[in-house]
Structure 1
Amino acid sequence: MTEKVLMGLLLPFIGTGLGAACVFFMKGQMSDKIQKALAGFASGVMVAASIWSLIIPAMEQSGKMGKLSFVPAVVGFWIGIAFLLLLDTVIPHLHLNAEKAEGPRSKLKRSTMMVLAVTLHNIPEGMAVGVVYAGLIAKNASISTGAALALAIGIAIQNFPEGAIISMPLCAEGKSKKGAFFDGVMSGAVEPIGALLTIFAAGLIVPAMPYLLSFAAGAMMYVVVEELIPEMSSGEHSNIGVVMFAVGFTLMMALDVALG
């Protein structure tokens, strides 16, 4: 595996770690406005990445199917939705600002379930980066080095606020800064692991690449609609979330086109 691929897989994890480190420099609890802004920004990046970096390349790779070139993208997308729905059902987790945990009943600590919630939606991000780099390794014509790097950078940028979103509330609830930082970093550890597993899987089933690309897109869209959009739009100041959604969307779109 080349150094470029390795760096691409680690970039999102580094973004999470840097965001989690905010707990050492910021005092008090993160304001509601900032939380909505960060959730909106992350949503915009993930939606744009799903479209430009995953779904469009998936359909391009199925071009030989003519008018049915959308089929692999649709099938893969729905499998991704179903996969995250399954994880959402079987893993106990607690979303930010929520009082009631989701998934099966558990005796896990509130802080542990908050970390699991972030870890849950980091899984599709890691898979997205992994499948794009798998295509690059397989010398897939529709995936360039620039496009793969753009996705890794985009995910890393949106992981920065995610790292802060998990570490700072944990610290505000009484956890030590070092402990909150560690939990924030560990919530992102699943991304390079998921990316590596996806690369190995894609190497075994290269013809399934369009399905894998759209699978990652469906998984990310599930996270956006089920978690991030409700966070950015509930209560007051929802306009901040919408504006930051647009910022994240256009930034990711620009990165993909400029580097791709």
Structure 2
Amino acid sequence: PAIEEAEARGQLGWLPAAGGFILGIAFLYGLDKLIPHLHQGTNETEGPSSSLKRTSLLVLAVTLHNIPEGMAVGLSFAFAAQQGGGTAAYTAAFALALGIGIQNFPEGAAISLPLRQEGFSSGRSFLYGSLSGIVEPVFGILTVLLASAIMPFMPWFLSFAAGAMMYVVVEELIPEAHLGEHSNLGTLSVMGGFIIMMILDVALG
């Protein structure tokens, strides 16, 4: 969509696509360096040194990487509105929101289950897992509210969200999918997720 939108505005299609993609990667890379957080399967804190507890660092890690997901959903609905609010555009935006919502379940469980094993109560573990995703609707709504201001730069923002999400996938999800001895299961899960999103895109779009 970024390339098509840029060309429709008489711009070079590749420029906002590549430029926004790079900016999205740089944005997440910068947050990774500025915010202390802890990834699953490691005890080494990323970012600046911090006295925060392990639980807080785990929640920060997932919360940090949920930001581009919220932006992507917000941008998809803003883009649909820009296109005149056609059914196909909103359906595609809904499919994206649904797909991201589905993957939030295992993402929240990745926070809640380790906390439960560490002795946290079920309610508190669930709360922490839920809070890790609170930034998604926040950034999604903010993106929609700012849509009128960012419309001239929509191709850049679309590719920005894509770059940020690709950074999360390569830096976080793919390595975690291959933790432990059952890397084949992680690979098949990635492929299954791709198939589900493809079906949603085609069936609903």
TM-score range normalised by the length of the shorter chain: over 0.9
Secondary structure class of the residue paired with 2:39: coil
Alpha-carbon distance, 1:68 to partner: 3.3
Q: Which residue of 2 aligns with 1:173?
A: 118
More deviation, 136-145/69-78: 136-145
Alpha-carbon distance, 1:144 to partner: 0.5
Supply the RMSD in Å over aligned alpha carbons. Answer: 1.7
**Which string of whole-angstrom CA distances, capped at 9 and with x for unpartnered residues, describes residues 129-156 of structure 1?**
0111111222358970110110011001
Q: What letter matches 1:122 in structure 2?
A: N
Q: Which residue of 2 aligns with 1:131?
A: 75
CA contact (8 A) 1:91 1:104 kept: yes
Are residues 1:74 and 2:18 paired? yes
Q: Which residue of 1 aligns with 2:99?
A: 154
Where has structure 1 moved over 4 Å in runs of 4 or more?
140-143
CA contact (8 A) 1:80 1:217 kept: yes
CA contact (8 A) 1:202 1:208 kept: no
CA contact (8 A) 2:41 2:179 kept: no
Q: Which residue of 2 aligns with 1:105?
A: 49
Are residues 1:116 and 2:78 paired? no
Q: Which residue of 2 aligns with 1:194?
A: 139
Secondary structure class of the residue paired with 2:181: coil
More contact order relative to length (CA 8 Å, sep ≥ 6): 1
Q: Which residue of 2 aligns with 1:185?
A: 130
Q: Identical aligned pairs, as a percentage?
A: 57
Secondary structure class of the residue paired with 1:68: coil
CA distance in 1, matches of 2:180, 2:129: 26
Alpha-carbon distance, 1:164 to partner: 1.0
Secondary structure class of the residue paired with 2:146: helix
Q: Which residue of 2 aligns with 1:225?
A: 170
CA distance in 2, matches of 1:194, 1:100: 28
TM-score (norm 1): 0.75
Unaligned runs of 5+ in 2: none
CA distance in 2, matches of 1:141, 1:189: 27
Unaligned runs of 5+ in 1: 1-56
CA distance in 1, matches of 2:195, 2:178: 19
TM-score (norm 2): 0.94
CA distance in 1, matches of 2:119, 2:19: 45
CA distance in 2, matches of 1:77, 1:194: 18
**Which string of whole-angstrom CA distances, capped at 9 and with x for unpartnered residues, describes residues 2-59 of structure 1?**
xxxxxxxxxxxxxxxxxxxxxxxxxxxxxxxxxxxxxxxxxxxxxxxxxxxxxxx111
Are residues 1:144 and 2:89 paired? yes
